[in-house]
Amino acid sequence: MEINFIPLQIHGDERGSLIALEESNNIPFAIKRVYYIFNTGKNIRRGLHAHKNLKQIAIAICGSCDFLLDNGSERVEIKLDDPTKGLLIDSCIWREMYNFSEDCILMVLANAIYEEADYIRDYNTFLNEVKNV
């Protein structure tokens, strides 16, 4: 299963570092929504769903967390611990996030506004959907 990390260029100088996220430049879609996840407990598992259409990029802008990505035939576990790397999460990928560090801030850019109808929250339904793609 191919994992796509988007390298994010640092504009740094003696004052520190800055990363800019620009649609159709380093972000390969129109950014319709940004949200961030923080204060997640050590033993908490989030996600546990796929999206029918949504594409997203996840960036651990502080701390770290682990991602499980599953395309219905393969599962890959990835550590996100670098604010210069954006993890591209395509549609029809089951995702789980866990092992959040206490200081983790996980920022996510999305190509659509929030829509509950886009979520597939049942794993067997997800498997049936990917078989039919």
Please list the active-site residues.
49
Q: Which residue, chain included where needed, has tokens 């994010």?
A: 8
110 close to 58: Cβ distance less than 8 angstroms: no
Query: Residue 106 — φ and ψ, nearest 5°?
Result: -100, 115
Looking at 47, 78, 92, 112, which residue binds ligand T46 (CB under 6 A)?
A: 47
Min CB(50)–ligand T46 separation in Å: 8
Min CB(78)–ligand T46 separation in Å: 13
Angle at 124 between CA 116 and CA 34, to 5 degrees: 30
Q: Cα(31)–Cα(24) distance, rounded to whole angstroms?
A: 9
- Using the minimum distance from each CB to ligand T46, give the nearer residue, 46 or 85: 46
Looking at 56, 65, 87, 100, which residue binds ligand T46 (CB under 6 A)?
A: 56
Nearest CA among 66, 127, 59, 65 for reference residue 93: 127
| Contact flag: residue 57 with ligand T46 (CB under 6 A) | no
Min CB(90)–ligand T46 separation in Å: 11
Q: Cα(91)–Cα(71) distance, rounded to whole angstroms?
A: 9
Site for ligand T46 in 95-114 (CB under 6 A): 95, 108, 114
Residues in contact with ligand T46 by CB under 6 A are 33, 35, 37, 46-47, 56, 58, 95, 108, 114
